[in-house]
Structures are given as structure tokens and as C-alpha cells.
Structure 1
Amino acid sequence: MTYRMTIADVPLAERLGVVPLLGDIHNHCDLSYGHGRLEDALARAAIQLDFVSVTGHAHWPDMPVDDPEVAHIVAFHVEGFARLADRWPGHYEALRAADRAGFTVFPGYEIHSAGHGDYTIVYRDLDDAPMHLADSPAELRDLLDRHLPGQAFAFPHHIGYRHGARGISWSTFDPALSPVVEMMSMHGCAEESDTALPYLHSMGPSDGAGTMRHGLAQGHVFGVVGNTDHHSAFPGSYGHGRMVAYARRPGREAIWEAITARRTTALTGANVHLLAAIGDEIQGGIVAPAAEAFLDIEAVAGGPIDSIDVIRNGRLVHRVTPALQPAPAAQPGRTILFLEMGWGPRGRAHRWEGEISVDGARLLGVEPRFRGRVELALPEEEGRDDPVPRIETEGEAVGFDLLARGNPTTTTSATQGVALHLDAEPGGHARLRLCGREIDVSFERLRAGALSGNLGPIDSPAWRLHRMPAAEELRWSGRLPLGTLAEGETVYLRLRQSCGQMAWTSPIFCRAARRSG
């Protein structure tokens, strides 16, 4: 059973009538240029996500067709655009086959632009609508308003590249077209100029004018999302970008309403619930100026929380450190048993088949932490179609069958993970069967620190059971005073786990008159 937070986990969300739903609405496969079957991309998404849109590359109006130095780039784009145009009508059949209760599928495609930045277009419904291609955000909004009123939006992605190099152009950004911007993906993080997650793609580094902070300083109103932008059929690839939509309920219309209302959080990969509220308005909302305001915070993380930052008008104004300011743990037995698998020789893959079971604990659910290929893929590369991982739960046991590769560098993780969310007793045990080997370890040992091992001699594939954190390390809630809240102000939250995984809420905006942008 996939882990789902309960009402007891998220009382603020319950009071405000929202549920956190996990998604990725910008990622790729061989539908255009990319790798892996659409059907496999959808199957992988269903393992880890509540909703998805698999994106096709469709159009690049200002492509540098006359520059011989980039002729190879032009060539694979032209080929990819043609492939998508041919496959678009028929791909709806695969989308409808994958869509079901608890897993919502949206159609999507993207348009490149040096002058305006790249945009992902998402449709609400699976009713065979054609692609609408435009050369600017203004033209795109006009087309979508005429043909799909209220049934489509577009958002700029990898916004951090410089203007002219497919980064965002804030001068042509339109909040009526784009309720959100993508500030986290495999390309890197574009919160601000200073980041631990820099842009490392061949397209170049990030630019301060392309950041979330810069857009907010200019007065724009938008929510934020993370998506993988993965190009090998692995939506939701762990660590490469995801998003949370705070919907009134599961389902297509509710998810759509949440995103278009900017009720979103951007994630790197860990399934973090991070909720900010001023009164009854949560992230993405607009509040009136007030002589005295308070910020409610609710955080439930996928690992020990290092810090929760309050960013007001582009400045850090408060930092919560749960280790120094713990909130009372309503459910003191809550913990996470996280098994990570991989390592071994670079470039080699190992099949991990096994099972984890627990004694002295109640299994609340399992959270897969599966990654796609982490290396940048060239369009002409072959042999990147790895099998779809399997994970299943029976009683208090979780079985899995997956492929993990050796890390490509000493700073790039290609590991795979399985996290069990538990309500554990002090004297419990975990029992593992890993590729024919048996491991029995007490919770007491894992609360003291991580346990690791190899399947063979040194340099062989290896595993790691992470330290089991205490309940108060995984969650924090509280109310902070903001004082006077004035016209034009913005407030958002940034959470960092001890392992480096991060989350960012959409801002809350203070405006004298409620408006969309």
C-alpha cells in the first residue's frame, strides 16, 4: 500500500480542507525526442505519483536554423517535433488507458523559445484536443482562450537560464496564462542566485534575472512547482523535481483547480508536506494588508528536518530548527525505515530482488524512492530502456524487484530506495531478504545510526539502512508572528532535510485588492 498521510498527520491541512497530492507535469519519453516508451513512463509514474503529464517537444519558432555550429541540435529537434506531430492524435489512447481513480493523467507538450523562454502546455481533459502552437505567450494565450477556455494553461520551465538562452522573459510573462512557474528540475534550482543545486546542463548556468526571487521582486504573482524534466520515461524520478498540489479532494477537476489557484509546493524529490497559511489563505493565495498577521506552518518530511525558513520579501526573516525548537510529537512512534540500494562499479547495473518485513511495528504505507537514469541522454543513444520497477505490499512485508546502477560520479547518486512509514514500538526488528541474503536488525540499532553492507567484496553493489529518525525530527508545526503585513509583500517557506532534499511553497501575496497577477 502506498503511503498516504492521515488526518492526524496534517491537522492544519484538514482544517483548511486540502489534501497533498504528488505529481510531475513536465517530463519526456520517446513520444518526441527522448527515450523509453510512453506506456512505461505512465507505469512508472503510477508507482510514485498521484498525477502526471508526459510532455512532447512540439515547436521552436526562433530555432537557430542558420548556425552550422548547432546543426546537430536543430536536426534532432526537427525530427522530434515531426515524431510528436505524428503520434499526438494516437497517444490519447495510452493516456486514457493509464488514467484511473487515484491516478490522474493530463496531456501536455512544450514550446521552446530563446526570446520568451520555454513553456509547457497542459490540457485538463483527455478528449483528443489537437496541439495549439504559437510563437509567443500572448499568441498562445489567445489560441488557448479561443479553443480551450478554462481547459489549458502553460508554465515557463527551467526559468533560470539567461534571457535569450531559453530562460524566462518576465516582460512577456502572463499570469492569466501561467498560474505557476517551474523553479526546480533536473536542470537545477532557480529560487535565487545562490543555490546548492546549480544549473549544470550543457545549456549553461543560471542567471539572477531568471530566478523566482527576481520575478517576485518585480511584483509578479505566481505559484511554484518542481518537475523532473526527465528525458528517459521516468516521471517523478527521485531527486530530480516533483510538485505537490493542495487539492480539495483527489481527482481531475480538483487537481486542476489547485494548480490554477497556485496552491502548490515544489520539491526536489522527498515527499514533503509543507503548508503555509495566513488566516484561511494558504500558499498561492492573496491576503489583504493587516495591522497584525500570523503565519501557520505545518511540515511533515521524508527525513529529519534540518531547517524551515520563512522568506519575506526576498529576505530570510525566521528559521525554525526542529532539533533546537521541537514541536510536541502527537504520535511518538512514527518513524521511517529507509532502504537504499545501488553503488558498485560505475556504469554497471544490478538487479535487486528482495523483501522487507517488520516485527513490533505497524506498517502505515510504503514510499518508493525510484530514480530514472541520471546521466544526460543524447537523443541518438540506444539501450536506455530499463525494466519498470516492481513493488508490492503483503501484510507487514514489502517486496520489490528493481534495477540500480553504480553511481556515475562520486557526487551523483543513482541509487534506488524503498521507505517504510511505521508506527514502531521500542523493541521492534526489521528483517530483510536482499538478493538471497538474510539481514535481521533491531530498531534500537537503527535508531543509533545507519547500517550498511555489500553483496560481495569491496566495490560490489551495496545497501544502506538509514538511521530511523524520531517522530519529532520528521515534523514541525507552529504559528509565527508576522507583525504588520503591507501591500506588495510576499511570504513563502523553504524546507531543507538533513540529507539535502528540499521543498518550497508558493508565496502568499499581500494585495489591497484581490487580483490574479
Structure 2
Amino acid sequence: MKYKKLWTDMHSNLHHEQINDLPHWYDQIKKTMDFWPFAYYPFYMKMTSSGLAVEDIHEDKDIQKDWEYIRTFTKEKNAEGFPMFMGYEWQGSGKDGDHNVFFLDNEQEMHHPLRYEELVKSYEGVSAIGIPHHIAYQLGSRGKNWETHNETFSPFVEIYSSHGCSESDDGPLDMNRHIHMGPRTGETSLERGIEKGYHLGIMAAGDNHGVPGVFEHGSMCVLAKDNSKEAIWDAFINRRVYGVSQSRIGVDFTINDIPMGGEVITDQAVLKMHIEGSDAIDRVEILKGNILDEMVVHSGTWELKEIPQTVRFKFHIEFGWGPDTRVYKDIFQKLWHGKLDCGNGKLLSIEKCWNNFGQELYNVDEHSCEFDLTTYKSTASGKWMGPSNVTTEGFIFEVEAEKDGYITLMIDGKEYKLSVEELLKHSKVFALWDDIQQLTKDTWGDIEHYRDDPWWHNAYKFKVHRFAWEEAYTLDYQKEIQVEEDCCYRLRVWQKNGDCAWSSPIYIRKK
């Protein structure tokens, strides 16, 4: 069966104090995602008599009022045709790990028992699932307790989010963003659940508390028959899900034509994959359980091939950077207006790489599009050398054009001609020189310096990443497997830009 790929952020937490922002969050999700399992966050920092703040749950009357508002809102959006699911975060005593609970219908109540097994029991006979997240934190201190796990109630797990990666304790994507909860440990990671023989799907989601659907924090894809809630729920309970760390890497993965999350009974298997990246694919790791079975290296297979005259390619454009707020104290954001014009070429697809509110895409046709973006300073310190990443906004465009031709980018009224041939070789960075020179003069007067640091370091910039042509971002592969024991296979896909995708396993029972 051919499934649709539907994308979402399955972990966007709106707090009691933010509940009136639900329509604003919904508007953002509708711009970026295909459906929305919303996770209400009923916890807050409670002051003890000595002044120490501890996290606790709000009073029942407050969260019940919020829950009824969410119920009404969800029903309204479902009636309008958008597949939204009610959900909430459950934490209990912390001994079993944090889980987000979601429902197929809109008639259920929240339960907050202290233990996971009690939570499972409270929803017997109900179409409910509880998805564990940031699982690789310490056992007993909000990390996953695999001894109490129920694979029916929790058909898949979130292994990547703003917290980092919980697949193992030695992978390249660490969990070092939340110092108060880390570091990660191997005893609660995904690998332990697979070792125990659980049937587990795998996905990624943001754990976003300020903006839903943050590009840099990961998202999930479901393989569903259509975009109805019932079809999406069927994908949930059958583990037809996978996760990406950033961009939307397309993963089609089957064994004997059974898709990810499924089970095959056989003694002879054929594994197939088709990968369509958003940038050049570096490699695909085929894992048998937790052990690397084969590495399919894509780098080196396409670089020397002759690029055709009419070429299809993808490229990422990022907008942001700008003045250090210690130097320019009142500048915290910039509004950008842009237009991409492919001329005689074709604009085939657009992925929104958005991390904050304030972004718009419009007037999209076969050859061009317009956009308005709002970029902000670093959330941690307001300067480029802060501990958190610089936050950018942008797009991944897919274009078909002539190799010796140009596409045109208009930014704030200025035209930039982008050579296809040049950008197939390397990326380019553009600074808004006129703007920073005027800002410097207005603020500091006529400045002279023997190098351009005062201007370059404070200039707004945009980066046009290297164009990846179709041979670079697509990969097809298959292999035969002689089945000697019950096992599972899963994929880990790496792009050259560091983006990753994790498939759910396919489980094989020896015939």
C-alpha cells in the first residue's frame, strides 16, 4: 500500500499560564505541519515555605478549566477538517519517565497517578497512547523505566528533541542543552528497550515550550492512508512513524514489502529503501537490533558524475545573524522581505525551516514565491558567542533549472543573481553591507579600522547553501537477508550537513 507522509510536532507544550495563546500556536502549526497532537503542560514551579521552587501540578480546578477549553477548541478544529488530537504531559513520581498522553476522540479526561502502570490501567479500553520522551535521563529521575513499559500503550518513543538524542549514551547528538536534567545515561536509552525485545516505533519531536514546530528541534513523520484522525491513529498504533533531527528527510523502508513498524514472518527477506534527502546524503546505517549490520555510503558515488544541462537540485537558505546586542542594545529582531524567482526554471517544492513566530510564505506559483521573515537574536545571551545556537529562519527550495543559468533572489529590494553552476560547487554568504554601514555611521559616527570586523561582525547576513543535485540527495538500495533468528532492522540516515533520520524498526520472526 502507498502511504502518505504526514509531518508534525508531537511535543509542543503549552502551559496553564499560556493557554490563551492556543489559537496563536494553532495558526503556527497550520503553516508548518499536516496535523497536530497537542500536549498540554499542567505543571508549574511552586514556591515552598523556604523559598525553594519545585515543579508541581496546578490545582485541579485550573487544569480542568484549561482541559475543557482545549476540548472545545479541538472539536472546533476537527469540524473544520484539521486533524488535531487532545493530549497532555504526564510525569508522575519521575520513577518511570515522562510521557505525553494522546487520545483518538475528544471525550477523555486527564489522569495523574504517580506511577506509569497506574496510568496504563486508568485508560484500559480507551483509544489512548502514552509516548515516552527524553528517555535517556537518569533512572528514577525522569528517565525511562523499561521494567514497567507497556508496548501497547506506548507503541513508539521519542528519541530526539530539544533535549538531544536518547538513542544511546555515546552517539554524536548529545543531551547537553538541559543542564538540570543531564547528563544522559545508557541504562535508560532506546537501545535498552530494543534489547529487552519490546516492539518500539521511533520518532522525534520538539519538546517546545515557546513556539510549536521548531525546525531545529526535530519533527516526526507518520505513514498514513490519508490525513484523517483515524488513519493517523492507525499509523500510531502500528508504529508507522519515524523522526528527523531537522530537515524532512524522506524515508521509505520495507522488508518483504512490509513498512517500518511492521512484523514479517519469514526465513528469506528482502530489505529495500528509498531515501530522498533535503541535502546530500552521506550514508545510511542499517542496524540489526542495536548493532551496525551494514553501512551504505552515498558520499563518493555522485560527485564525479556529469551534471545534466537541465538539473534538479535542493538548497537551504538561512537568514539571520546581525548586530551584537552589547554594541547595538536596542536591536533584537529584523523583518525581511524576499522573493525567489526561478525565471525559466521551475519551483518544485518548499520546506519551511522556521524556528519562531513571524514567518509567512505567499504568492507561490510554478516559478516563484514571496516571503516575509522575522529573525531574532540568540535566546541565551543576545550575542554570537553565546552558549546557544544562533537562531535563523529560512527555507529548503527544490528547483529545476538550466545548469548554466541563474535564479534570482530579491531581499529587501536588492537583487542577488545566483549562478546555478557556481552554487553546485559551494555555498555563498551575503551580508547586508549598506544597512550595517549606515547603522554604524548613525550610531558611532565615521569609523575607520584596518579590518572589517566592526561591520562584518554586526551585519545581517543570509547564507545560500550549496546546491545538492538529485543524484546527491536520492538513494535506492536493497539487500537479501537470510533469517537465522528473530530480530529487527532499522535505519539511521545521515546527511552531509549533519541532519539525521531514524526509522522505526521492522521486526522479523524466523519462519
TM-score range, shorter chain: 0.7 to 0.9
CA distance in 2, matches of 1:360, 1:33: 51
SS in 1 for 2:501: strand
Pairing partner for 2:3 from 14, 18, 24: 18
For the Cα contact (< 8 Å) 1:258–1:264, is it kept in 2?
Answer: yes
Partner of 2:465: 466
Give the counterpart letter for 1:468 in structure 2: F
Q: How does 1:45-60 map to 2 (within 5 A)?
A: 45-58=29-42
Partner of 2:64: 85
Partner of 2:504: 506
Give the counterpart letter for 1:110 in structure 2: E
For the Cα contact (< 8 Å) 2:281–2:494, is it kept in 1?
Answer: yes
Q: How does 1:105-504 map to 2 (within 5 A)?
A: 105-113=84-92, 114-125=94-105, 127-146=106-125, 149=126, 151-200=127-176, 201=178, 202-232=180-210, 234-290=211-267, 292-325=268-301, 333-346=311-324, 348-372=332-356, 387-395=357-365, 396-407=367-378, 408=380, 410=385, 412-456=389-433, 457-458=455-456, 459-487=458-486, 489-504=487-502
CA RMSD of superposed structures (Å): 2.7
Aligned-residue offset at 1:98: 4.1
Aligned-residue offset at 1:225: 1.1
Aligned-residue offset at 1:413: 3.5
- Quick check: 239-248 or 424-433, which moved more? 424-433
Aligned-residue offset at 1:117: 0.6
Aligned-residue offset at 1:428: 3.2
Aligned-residue offset at 1:475: 0.9
Q: In the superposition, relative to structure 1, how do residues 471 and 268 fare at CA in structure 2: closer, same or farther (>3 Å)?
A: same
For the Cα contact (< 8 Å) 1:118–1:167, is it kept in 2?
Answer: yes
Q: In the superposition, relative to structure 1, how do residues 80 and 431 fare at CA in structure 2: closer, same or farther (>3 Å)?
A: farther
Partner of 1:4: none
Deviations 1:194-219 (A, max 9, x none): 12221120211111011111110111
Larger Rg: 2
Q: In the superposition, relative to structure 1, how do residues 346 and 224 fare at CA in structure 2: closer, same or farther (>3 Å)?
A: farther
For the Cα contact (< 8 Å) 2:46–2:54, is it kept in 1?
Answer: no
SS in 2 for 1:352: strand
CA distance in 1, matches of 2:117, 2:48: 26
For the Cα contact (< 8 Å) 1:55–1:110, is it kept in 2?
Answer: yes
CA distance in 2, matches of 1:466, 1:101: 38
- Quick check: 183-192 or 435-444, which moved more? 435-444
For the Cα contact (< 8 Å) 2:279–2:473, is it kept in 1?
Answer: yes
Partner of 1:7: none
Q: In the superposition, relative to structure 1, how do residues 196 and 112 fare at CA in structure 2: closer, same or farther (>3 Å)?
A: same
Give the counterpart letter for 2:260 in structure 1: Q
Aligned-residue offset at 1:388: 3.4
- Quick check: 401-410 or 169-178, which moved more? 401-410
Q: In the superposition, relative to structure 1, how do residues 177 and 59 fare at CA in structure 2: closer, same or farther (>3 Å)?
A: farther
SS in 1 for 2:230: helix
Normalised TM-score (structure 2): 0.85
SS in 1 for 2:404: strand
SS in 2 for 1:239: helix
CA distance in 2, matches of 1:336, 1:101: 34
Higher relative contact order, chain-length normalized (CA < 8 Å, sep 6+): 1
Aligned-residue offset at 1:330: 13
Aligned-residue offset at 1:242: 0.6
For the Cα contact (< 8 Å) 2:157–2:202, is it kept in 1?
Answer: yes
Give the counterpart letter for 2:99 in structure 1: Y
Is 1:73 aligned to 2:71, yes or no? no
Aligned-residue offset at 1:224: 0.8
CA distance in 2, matches of 1:221, 1:341: 41
Deviations 1:256-311 (A, max 9, x none): 10111001111112101112211021211112241x32210111111111111101
Q: In the superposition, relative to structure 1, how do residues 463 and 330 fare at CA in structure 2: closer, same or farther (>3 Å)?
A: closer
Give the counterpart letter for 2:394 in structure 1: G
SS in 1 for 2:299: coil
For the Cα contact (< 8 Å) 2:333–2:376, is it kept in 1?
Answer: yes
Q: In the superposition, relative to structure 1, how do residues 66 and 215 fare at CA in structure 2: closer, same or farther (>3 Å)?
A: farther
CA distance in 2, matches of 1:187, 1:420: 28
SS in 2 for 1:255: helix
Give the counterpart letter for 1:124 in structure 2: L
SS in 2 for 1:293: strand
SS in 1 for 2:85: strand
Q: In the superposition, relative to structure 1, how do residues 122 and 68 fare at CA in structure 2: closer, same or farther (>3 Å)?
A: farther
Aligned-residue offset at 1:65: 9.3
SS in 2 for 1:95: helix
Aligned-residue offset at 1:163: 0.7
For the Cα contact (< 8 Å) 1:358–1:428, is it kept in 2?
Answer: no
Give the counterpart letter for 1:92 in structure 2: R
CA distance in 2, matches of 1:499, 1:40: 32
Structure 2 gap ranges (5+): 326-331, 434-454
Deviations 1:129-160 (A, max 9, x none): 332333322222222224xx2x2211111111
Query: What is the aligned length?
Result: 471
CA distance in 1, matches of 2:425, 2:476: 25
Q: In the superposition, relative to structure 1, how do residues 309 and 58 fare at CA in structure 2: closer, same or farther (>3 Å)?
A: same
Deviations 1:204-254 (A, max 9, x none): 11110111111101111110111100100x222112021110112222111
For the Cα contact (< 8 Å) 2:19–2:66, is it kept in 1?
Answer: no
- Quick check: 342-351 or 209-218, which moved more? 342-351
CA distance in 2, matches of 1:329, 1:468: 15
Aligned-residue offset at 1:485: 4.3
For the Cα contact (< 8 Å) 1:281–1:287, is it kept in 2?
Answer: yes
Q: In the superposition, relative to structure 1, how do residues 483 and 346 fare at CA in structure 2: closer, same or farther (>3 Å)?
A: farther
SS in 2 for 1:129: coil
Partner of 1:94: 73
Deviations 1:77-101 (A, max 9, x none): 4448764332110123333444477
CA distance in 2, matches of 1:219, 1:329: 47
Normalised TM-score (structure 1): 0.85
- Quick check: 295-304 or 397-406, which moved more? 397-406
For the Cα contact (< 8 Å) 1:50–1:102, is it kept in 2?
Answer: no
Q: In the superposition, relative to structure 1, how do residues 82 and 26 fare at CA in structure 2: closer, same or farther (>3 Å)?
A: farther
